[in-house]
Structure 1
């Protein structure tokens, strides 16, 4: 069993200093709750303050790597650090960094599908590589928010063998029922756990009401956070993946030559 902490936090719009402070506090709280893996929401350093990215984006992820890396090592925690706005090679990205218990970055993922209604496609470059890694003995993959609507991308990651998908998000209240339905669908069709961590609070254009969820390969909801900021602990038992695949293994029965 692996204890995973879903950190459902409010994000201060365009205020990295405040948000980094909140993340540091949350990591210490998660440790006290017995977590082994800690997961944060999307764009927690800046929110969707895209117009001001030139002055507030994390250059090469240095601030994130320093703060989260140091705390991961100090607290002996594995951290799927949500995602942060980064500036890399002259372009802005929506980036997830994953840290092991030594504070080392073991995976980096740039969001592949940009969300036009929040103008992400106008400001942020798209990634084009999946991120597969092992953390706390969990074969894992990272995706971000709008990626949830693209099952083909999940299958691409899943071909390498995934037991747990981590999905940080800023998913608005107006579409929260779709969020819950899609998280269940991705878990069932990929025969894997899905950990979706959403934010709460407001930005100038949207309201967010959390409902961070952990879903088992069967589609059973193991945890569904409420609408307040806080930390939800869920236990992951990997034998559920093995049990699901003993009945039938969807990956083995795929016919990708037909999927065009």
Structure 2
């Protein structure tokens, strides 16, 4: 069964690398902190989650200042000094988060914070329509719409409450600054921006799959890809490979025939 278009968008957003920067991770965790404070009279069980947000923010700040360490397991043969190694936190992709029935809010927000801290995106299965409804009304006001999806409960397979905009939908200003569009300003011809901090090949594959989902009628799928020169060869090659694997053989043959007729 084909993956829902919304999930394909989330995959494409991750592959563009938007969740890699430490500043983005920190802002999402701070959003959880702000959301908790705004609902303190309701979510009394979240004292631990609040403490966890502060801990993760502090850890990201420390990591951002210095991401190098000395290894205690090896010694240089030349001068006896311990070598330095870069520490890299590799994001894994999209994380499914499920609630515990006894303490639903803290059991959701803890993994959400951990996912953001690691540079991952996530899909939420709250297990309760009431919890989903509450979080649906709060999360988009405090978090980047690109970073999450809210899933259906009760084991159903579809996705609902999809954020109206994708992290892959970006606005590129004349100065080169990039900002994520909100739900009210997403144009009919939106764009994705692929750069060196992401995986260009996987971004291209996810982009093609999203474009071809539901016979090309998938909602909120960007129509234009803006690609840095440094990663353009990989992106172009991966798009070509994905199209070859995805298109039906007879459609590819018709396209090739039409192209050959124009070149002769």
TM-score normalised to structure 2 length: 0.26
Q: Which has the larger radius of gyration?
A: 2
Higher helix share: 2
Structure that is richer in strand per residue: 1
